[in-house]
Amino acid sequence: MSSTDSRAAIFAAIRANRPKIQPPLPDVPLFDEKAPSDLVTAFSEMLVKMGGKVLDPQGQDPISALRAAVADKGIIATCVPELHGDASLQIRQILPDMDPHSLADVEIGVVRAAFGVAETGSLCLTDDELIVNTSGYLPQHLIVLLDPSQIVANLHNAYRRPELREHKYAVFQTGPSATADIEGVLIHGAQGVRSLRVLFCPEQD
């Protein structure tokens, strides 16, 4: 059987066997009437519960805090303009034509999230932000810049954002890579990044 024949056979079988009822598709409410007013705090609390951390600038400006966090940490790959041009750092600027494998030796990746989700502490990273998708996965650690004004209350709101329709690839990343496949013992850094830190930092125009 060719794939085309199989397609026809599958559709014929569905039409023959499908239950003969026509229930409507229900409307899905936003369920956000009781959403917290302070989304930054709500997001941060969930992020921490999910294994992520907030990179606290401790009074400095966020970019100085970012520089301090990556200084002398090995190869830094960045998708964001904030760190470009700093000769004191071992910075590798991620460019669209890079081979996905070329990020395998990176210690810390720096990327900006499109938005955050307070309900789950998730960050939406798209192929626009990642530039090379493996920049979210091959580095040992990840620092994500998030504009505090770009946090939605919950997943219902998140799925109404344009990013999920416009991008070839988009991920809700929530904390670091994790596994508990052996006796429920939680370990960070199963295959992807071992740690994830979020730096609140409005986007530069």
Considering the complex, what minimum distance in angstroms separates the CB of residue 55 from another protein? Answer: 7
Considering the complex, what minimum distance in angstroms separates the CB of residue 81 from another protein? Answer: 21
Helix (H, G, I), strand (E, B) or coil at 5: helix
End-to-end Cα distance, the chain: 56
* Residue 10 vs 84, nearer CB to another protein: 10
Torsion of CA 141, 163, 79, 154, to 10 degrees: -40
Stretch that binds another protein, among 70-78, 84-92, 114-122, 145-153 (CB under 8 A): 114-122
Considering the complex, what minimum distance in angstroms separates the CB of residue 200 from another protein? Answer: 10
Give, in order, the Cα–Cα distances in Å from 194 to each of 64, 66, 179. 23, 18, 11
DSSP H or E run through 6: helix 3-17
Considering only residues 32 to 51 of the shown chain, the ones binding another protein according to CB under 8 A are: 34, 44, 46, 48-51
Which one, of 124, 116, 118, 159, lies nearest residue 28 by Cα?
A: 159
Number of chain residues interacting with another protein (CB under 8 A): 86
Task: Quickly tell me which residue has 């960045």 as its tokens.
Answer: 78
Considering only residues 175 to 204 of the shown chain, the ones binding another protein according to CB under 8 A are: 175-193, 197
Can residue 72 be called a binding residue for another protein (CB under 8 A)? Answer: no
Residue 161 CB contacts under 8 Å (≥ 6 apart), including other chains:
114, 115, 124, 152
Stretch that binds another protein, among 13-21, 72-80, 85-93, 108-116 (CB under 8 A): 13-21
Q: Are 107 and 73 in contact (CB under 8 A)?
A: yes
78: its two tokens:
């960045």
- Binder of another protein out of 94, 173, 199, 201 (CB under 8 A): 173
- Binder of another protein out of 106, 113, 115, 122 (CB under 8 A): 122
Q: Is the dihedral of CA 146, 149, 154, 156 positive or negative?
A: negative
Considering the complex, what minimum distance in angstroms separates the CB of residue 21 from another protein? Answer: 6
- Binder of another protein out of 53, 62, 147, 150 (CB under 8 A): 53
Can residue 87 be called a binding residue for another protein (CB under 8 A)? Answer: no
**Binding characters for another protein, 133-162, by CB under 8 A (x = yes):** xx-xxx---------------xxx-xxx--
